[in-house]
Chain A
Amino acid sequence: MQKEYLTSTVVKYTINVVKNKPESLRKTIEKTNTVRVYDNGFIGVAGSIGESNFDELEKQAVENLGLKLPYPCKLPENVVKKMDTTKKVIDTDNYMLSVGKMMDKISAAAPNFIFGNKVTYVEVEAKYRNTKGCDLEYKGNTFSLGLSIKSYGSANLFDLFYAFNEVSIDEKEMVNDVKLITEHYGDVVDIEPGKYPVLMDTSDMFGKSLYDLMIDQYASNASIFKGKLGQKMFSDKFSIYFDRRPEMAHATPFFDDEGEIAPDYERFIIKNGEFVALIGNKRQQEVYNLPIAQNSGAPYDGLPSASFAGLMVKTENKTLAEITKEKTIFVIMASGGDTTTDGDFATPVQFAYLIQDGKVLGKLPDIQIYGNIFEFFGKDYVTTVSKALTQVGESYFTLTKLNVQK
């Protein structure tokens, strides 16, 4: 019988911002413990919260083998690695005060707007060991800002959103970012319907099509990508992968919830346009005998499953000015889009700027954008950049060509 032991401790300081000021502080400490046992093709899992007796958990996990839940015993072997990426980010003893001063500077940069939502600092510690000689430990932290920005008098719940996830704080750059996305809010420009370069959050474009990359769906011929595994599907420049590189994935362990470490901490689903692997877990891989990009997540008391954590698009190190030589629609907010089984994607755009040479020309009226996924990630794909707008942290935007309708 093989066994796995996991612990996770997450300490989180969350400030809620209301009307530009901190309104509340929430501190939570969550420690979870997990034991998984494998025997004769089945898995037994037991978990607990807080301090725990692992002998007792192991006993419960063995009892749970009686549920006869099939799961292959393919544990990583003989890897011992410890990593601490923790950096000094903010003084948690004076967290409320520090965030209050930060918000004063940010809100002063955009006096016609109301800022709200959350500012969070997180410390993570994760441990994994198994009976096949694996012993892994990770410590890391991150500071994340997710501010809703609402123009005074707007009927929207919020009009803009400013977010990043980093291990450093540069208040001056934050102020510059906020100025950039707010100072042309009142300048209205217009465009004629047609096909334009569009720069938008990559996840908004891929959206629900991510599920078409999942193994159950693909293996059942119910994916828009059916029959394309192993084939070139998109532009040479387009790659999707799970990224656990310590310098990129803040407060994310370098190993997944099954103790697996990817080569160079990267596992590709689409590599240079070729569909190379599916999203799934070890059980599904065994059932379908298809390649997966191993990236497991698991509740503390449940079975491992495929996780989307760390899913990224490969980026180029180009500036906004470099990629917007011609008039480009910069989509700041677009929600509610979807893709048909033919790959036709459409979404309303709630907020977009027209930009050129990295400069905002003005705000566009309500528009709809649409296109086919095989074209906008194929022949029309230009690039994806990681610092298109926010100078402080990572924010992924893809440039491609899409049809615009008013």
Chain B
Amino acid sequence: MFNFNPNFYSDVRIVDSFSTKIIFKKGVMENYNVQKELRAFIRVFDGKLWYYTSTSDVKNIDKELQNLYKQGTPNPDIANDPIVKRFETHICNKMIFDKNSVRNISKEQKIEILKKNAEIYKNDLISYLEYYYLDKSDNYHFYSSKGADIQHDYQHCGIGYNYFITSGKDHFKGRFQVGKNYFDEIVYFENEQKDELEKGIDYALHAEPCDKGYFPVVLSPVVAGVFAHESFGHKSESDFMIGDETMRKEWALGKKVGSDILSIYDYGANSGTGYCLFDDEGTMTQKTYLIRNGVLTGRLHMGTTAADLDEDLTGNARAMNCKFEPVVRMTSTVIDGGDKTFEELIADIKDGYYIHNYAHGSGMTQFTIAPEMAFKIKDGKIGKPVKISVITGNVFETLGLIDGLSKDAKVCNSITGGCGKMEQFPLHVSFGGPYVRISKMNIQ
């Protein structure tokens, strides 16, 4: 235990990190990197200001703490500070990955699974193939001056294949990625890979320019997840409301913000790359409904925002790694499923688009998604592949234009991207939903 000064709130987050990166280009291993790091992030709060440091010298954390105390102003009443009062004080060990850690998987096993799944890409139309194995294992130990003592962990691993298909004048950049929590879950994905590759080849050979304008659109689960994350999730991160009374009234819980069938939640206990049982202030995750049946029902918090808005913690104080302080971030953000099948969703669309996957997305009041692959919907059926630069819409209008959801929501993982917020990118998150139909979106 550390020599915490009672006139300050302090916490110490120690992370033992392990990661592997293996990259093959054109069949040759071009990179093999195993990174191990032990690092601590220390926070001290005097009731007015926070003081942070990050150090790899974990034997001298007490010394760093004393240095931070010198910068602040002692506050004998710190325990009654509204931020400090909210912090939870769990004492527990919730290590769930240690018995099946990627740290114990050999280099040969990792390379074998990678190479085995690469066989499918032996195709004359593929002019370039790059594939990679990535894993990450973080063992956390969190201590606070309030008495929290939490051991928990996170792990993901996965494989990915990036390829270029070239045909005549045109080309297509395709990708396939699988991200899981356990190595045993990365097996052989022949059918999924074949299906995606066939779609990619069809896209490269036959994709046509799209008609620009406003059309009904159906989003796949992964694209729906990006939409939920970018369009509404970021607006639910309550740090953007600090100091703005008008916004608090505008975003009052209970306000209607979407169609009746729309519900979106964030939950760090979902398996996948959004798994985050405890946040970086020692708060346990909870299932937070941001929208339920179209009504604003919650938002995401860390200590400072919860105190400022006089609401409860939600377990969303997250740092990208041990070099940064936590800020309000999402974990696993998902649109709940509805009552239709995919076929029913597209059945009455005469002229529209199906967005199969995405290259990137971003969210302000106007949000955008750049599709990687998209298809025409003509007379209730999926038609030809089309080239679309971006689909865009106003967030609030679009949330109200959702008029159909398929039954099952799928949570999608990413082992390469993740979420970016100002200086902290990428943070591992997941997102998902069912197939989502939107009656009108701007296609460009």
Contact = CB atoms under 8 A, between A and B. Distances in A.
B233 to A, nearest CB: 11
Given A68-B29, A222-B127, A155 B50 contact: no
Contacts of A156: 364-365
B389 A339 contact: yes
B444 A370 contact: yes
A334 to B, nearest CB: 9
B56 A49 contact: yes
B49 A117 contact: no
Contacts of A146: 422
Interface residues of B, number: 69
B91 interface: no
A40 interface: no
Given A117-B422, A336-B392, A302 B31 contact: yes
Given A335-B364, A337-B390, A69 B32 contact: yes
B247 A153 contact: yes
A49 B364 contact: no
B389 A344 contact: yes
B52 A335 contact: no
Interface in A13-46: 16, 18-20, 22-28, 30
Interface in A324-363: 333, 335-342, 344-350
Contacts, number: 179
A374 to B, nearest CB: 14
Contacts of A222: 127-128, 164-166, 171-173
A221 B164 contact: yes
Given A26-B325, A49-B37, A341-B387, A155 B71 contact: no
A303 to B, nearest CB: 5
A23 B444 contact: no
Contacts of B364: 156-157, 333, 335, 350
Interface string A357-396: 0000000001010100000000000000000000000000
B191 interface: no
Contacts of A1: none
Which of B130, B247, B394 has the most chain A CB within a 10 Å cutoff?
B247
Interface in A244-291: 283, 287
A348 B368 contact: yes
A340 B28 CA distance: 30
Interface residues of A, number: 67
A341 B389 contact: no
Contacts of B166: 220-222
Contacts of B370: 208, 336-338
A49 B247 CA distance: 44
A87 to B, nearest CB: 23
A153 B250 contact: yes
Contact of B49 (A22, A118, A339, A341): A22
B127 A338 contact: no
B388 to A, nearest CB: 8
A150 interface: yes
Contacts of A347: 368, 390
Given A26-B52, A155-B247, A118 B423 contact: yes
A299 B37 CA distance: 14
A157 B127 contact: no
A23 B208 CA distance: 52
Nearest to B52: A26
A67 B32 contact: yes
Interface in A79-127: 96, 114, 116-118
Interface stretch (B175-183, B236-244, B268-276, B289-297): B236-244
Interface in B338-393: 359-362, 364-370, 387-390, 392
B128 A217 contact: yes
Interface in B21-63: 21, 25-26, 28-33, 35, 37, 49-54, 56-57
B246 A153 contact: yes
Contacts of A349: 366
Contacts of A69: 29-32
A308 interface: no
Contacts of A350: 364-366
Contacts of B130: 216
Given A96-B49, A337-B389, A154 B444 contact: no
A153 B243 CA distance: 10
Interface in B42-95: 49-54, 56-57, 71
A337 B325 CA distance: 30
Contacts of A28: 53-54, 323
A342 B209 contact: yes
Nearest to B172: A341
Nearest to A281: B30
Interface string A143-162: 00010101011111110000
A97 to B, nearest CB: 11
Minimum-distance CB pairs A-B, first 9: A336-B368, A153-B246, A222-B164, A220-B128, A24-B50, A19-B243, A338-B370, A336-B362, A346-B389
Given A25-B49, A157-B234, A336-B369, 5 more contacts: A19-B242, A220-B127, A222-B164, A302-B33, A341-B172
11 contacts: A28-B53, A49-B56, A50-B56, A156-B365, A158-B240, A208-B370, A220-B127, A337-B389, A338-B390, A346-B389, A348-B368
Interface of B: 21, 25-26, 28-33, 35, 37, 49-54, 56-57, 71, 127-128, 130, 164-166, 170-173, 209, 234-235, 237, 239-240, 242-247, 250, 304, 323-325, 359-362, 364-370, 387-390, 392, 394, 396, 422-423, 442, 444
